[in-house]
A and B are shown apart, each in its own frame.
Chain A
Amino acid sequence: QKEVEQNSGPLSVPEGAIASLNCTYSDRGSQSFFWYRQYSGKSPELIMSIYSNGDKEDGRFTAQLNKASQYVSLLIRDSQPSDSATYLCAAVSGGYNKLIFGAGTRLAVHP
């Protein structure tokens, strides 16, 4: 069973700080990785995708991928209370037919 693991949290950070969210995956064949944000009671929305080793930046968000360590992370700079949500890490399985989600990390940004 291919897995994606995340710490469930909650991760609590003060407003303006950097939030660091981490994820590990078991399928060495995975090549595509995504971070989704999900507000309580709402559907997931894609915020970042990453396919190559290294960093990818988009505004306040930076995704990091290390395929050798099978590790994906998401950094949120200048965290805002509106960033408080559950963040889901997902990996496309090596067979390219399924997206495997982690259980999510709940982030709480306090003023």
Chain B
Amino acid sequence: EAQVTQNPRYLITVTGKKLTVTCSQNMNHEYMSWYRQDPGLGLRQIYYSMNVEVTDKGDVPEGYKVSRKEKRNFPLILESPSPNQTSLYFCASSLSPTEIRQYFGPGTRLTVT
């Protein structure tokens, strides 16, 4: 089954404790991205990757890091989480940004206290 998986689905952590949210897709897609969703603000892109070892900043990259060492995986790293990073995070993949369909993962709800 074609899918994007994210782990963990729910995470409560404390300020400053490094964390990683994993994202994996099994469709051999080149394009992957991370979004955060906050009430009233919609989906905002954090980082995207056009292919292995090619990543670039989206609209809200501050406080986040990513890596793309393998085509299927695109982890999101919060080196020192802060309460303003409490949000719902989605990973997505597609053949390209203009591909007719972007596949979204199930989401990760992060709370930073």
Q: Which residues of A approach B to under 8 Å, CB–CB?
A: 1, 8, 31-32, 34, 41-46, 49, 88, 90, 92, 96-104
A92 and B48 contact, CB distance less than 8 A: no
A99 and B45 contact, CB distance less than 8 A: yes
Is B100 among interface residues, defined by CB-CB distance under 8 A? yes
Q: Which residue of A is nearest B56, CB measured?
A: A97
A90 to B59, CA, bound (A): 14
B42 and A32 contact, CB distance less than 8 A: no
Which residues of A lie under 8 Å from residue B19 when comparing CB positions? Answer: none
Which residues of B lie under 8 Å from residue A45 when comparing CB positions? Answer: 104
Is B44 among interface residues, defined by CB-CB distance under 8 A? yes
B107 and A92 contact, CB distance less than 8 A: no
A29 to B: closest C-beta gap in Å? 13
A46 and B102 contact, CB distance less than 8 A: yes
B19 to A: closest C-beta gap in Å? 20
Which residues of B lie under 8 Å from residue A44 when comparing CB positions? Answer: 43, 90, 104
A88 to B105, CA, bound (A): 16
List the 5 closest A-B pairs by CB distance, nearest first: A103-B42, A43-B104, A101-B43, A101-B42, A46-B101
B42 and A88 contact, CB distance less than 8 A: yes
Which residues of A lie under 8 Å from residue B56 when comparing CB positions? Answer: 97
Name the interface residues of B37-72: CB closer than 8 Å to any CB of A.
40-45, 48, 50, 56, 58-59
Q: Which of B58, B98, B100 lies at the interface centre, i.e. has the most chain A CB atoms within 10 A of its CB? A: B98
B42 and A99 contact, CB distance less than 8 A: no
Q: Which residue of B is nearest A90, CB measured?
A: B43
A55 to B10, CA, bound (A): 40
A94 to B: closest C-beta gap in Å? 11
**Contact status of A43 and B102, CB under 8 A, knowing A96-B97, A97-B97, A99-B45:** no
